[in-house]
Amino acid sequence: MERTLNDAMDYARTFLHTGKVATYIPELAKGDSEQLGACLITTDGEVYRVGDWQQEFTIQSISKTITLIMALQVAGYEKVFSKVGVEPTGDAFNSLVRLETKTAHPLNPMINAGAIATASCCMDVKDPFGEFLELTRRLCRRDTIHLNEAVFQSEKKAGMRNRSMAYLMEDDNILEYDAEDVVDLYFRMCSLSVNAEDLANYALVLAHNGVDPRSGEHLLDDWIVRIVKTLMVTCGMYDASGEFAMKVGIPAKSGVGGGIMGTVERKMGLAVFNPALDPKGNSVGAYRVMEYLSHYLGLHYFSGSNSMI
């Protein structure tokens, strides 16, 4: 395993020059596009760490999976899916175009507009961000996960597109709270500082339908995990979700901080970090590590053999 993981890293390194760090959130522009790290945790508790696995980065859109979990826990299935759909978009993650229809319902919870709508469903509790942080810490098994204040402030300052989406949705009564309060929560959710091991721990819990296989601890209801993994398959990689499903075949979620988290059913949790992004906002290095591992370890969800596409 260790050998395959290192080979995957070498393979991915040859592609890093094709990507660029995100700049639309100024604080993210400080990322180093050469950094590459990964963590893989198997069901029997073996942990493999390589490269810059300790490097902290902001969770960004990977938080959208946890926001959806919390929304379903707080507001329930009916309410959440009265606010947001479950269909892939084919548009960029920060696109506004579909909101300008008869109603401003976002197509799914994995794009910015959809995550803002699900964040609003998390606000029926006393301390929404506090509870979100606690949930993230439990799923990632680390009590010291915290907010990256500089990234949060930077997102807040540069978040005009997200604000525009929120105001459109407030106008259409999709948000039940003030648009500014909802985007504030959304920006905080995106700005948590994590490392590859944190996300691999979380991915392992998803791989076991809400139970941590190491401790037996039941962390999430299986119906919620099923919904989250389904949306990771269909929408987790934005408008590259179809291509990723075909070439890699691992339920995954990416973020513009450079992380991709992947969950391999009953086998492993996996997370890779590299801040060099492709034009669709997915990490070049993380994508390639997953592609390599899927091929050489036969991880594609339809893999009867290890054949490369």
Q: Which residues are catalytic?
A: 61, 64, 186, 238, 256
Among 254, 263, 274, 294, binds ligand DON (CB under 6 A): 254
Residue given tokens 């329930």 in the structure block: 76
If binding is defined by CB under 6 A, does position 255 make contact with ligand DON? yes
Contacts of 246 (CB under 8 A, 6+ apart): 309
Among 35, 42, 61, 263, binds ligand DON (CB under 6 A): 61
Residue 40 CB, nearest approach to ligand DON (Å): 22
Among 69, 99, 190, 194, binds ligand DON (CB under 6 A): 190
Residue 93 CB, nearest approach to ligand DON (Å): 4
Residue of minimal CB distance from ligand DON? 61
If binding is defined by CB under 6 A, does position 155 make contact with ligand DON? yes
Residue 254 CB, nearest approach to ligand DON (Å): 5
Residues in binding contact with ligand DON, number by CB under 6 A: 12
Which 65-124 positions form the footprint of ligand DON (CB under 6 A)?
93-94, 112
If binding is defined by CB under 6 A, does position 162 make contact with ligand DON? yes
**CB neighbourhood size of 193 (10 A):** 18
Q: Which of 309, 271, 288 is nearest to 19 (CA)?
A: 288
Query: For residues 183 and 159, is the Cβ–Cβ distance under 8 A?
Result: yes
- The distance in angstroms from the start CA to the end CA of the chain is 22
Contacts of 266 (CB under 8 A, 6+ apart): 43, 207, 208
Residue 85 CB, nearest approach to ligand DON (Å): 18
The H-or-E segment that residue 192 falls in is: strand 192-194
Q: Stretches 121-129, 227-235, 249-257, 266-274: which one binds ligand DON (CB under 6 A)?
A: 249-257
Q: Which of 128, 87, 93 is nearest to 108 (CA)?
A: 87
If binding is defined by CB under 6 A, does position 274 make contact with ligand DON? no
- DSSP single-letter state for residue 240: G
Which 193-222 positions form the footprint of ligand DON (CB under 6 A)?
none
**CB neighbourhood size of 178 (10 A):** 13
Query: What is the distance between the alpha carbons of residues 246 and 241, in angstroms, rounded to a whole number?
Result: 9
Q: Which residues of the chain form contacts with ligand DON (CB under 6 A)?
A: 60-61, 93-94, 112, 155, 162, 190, 254-256, 281
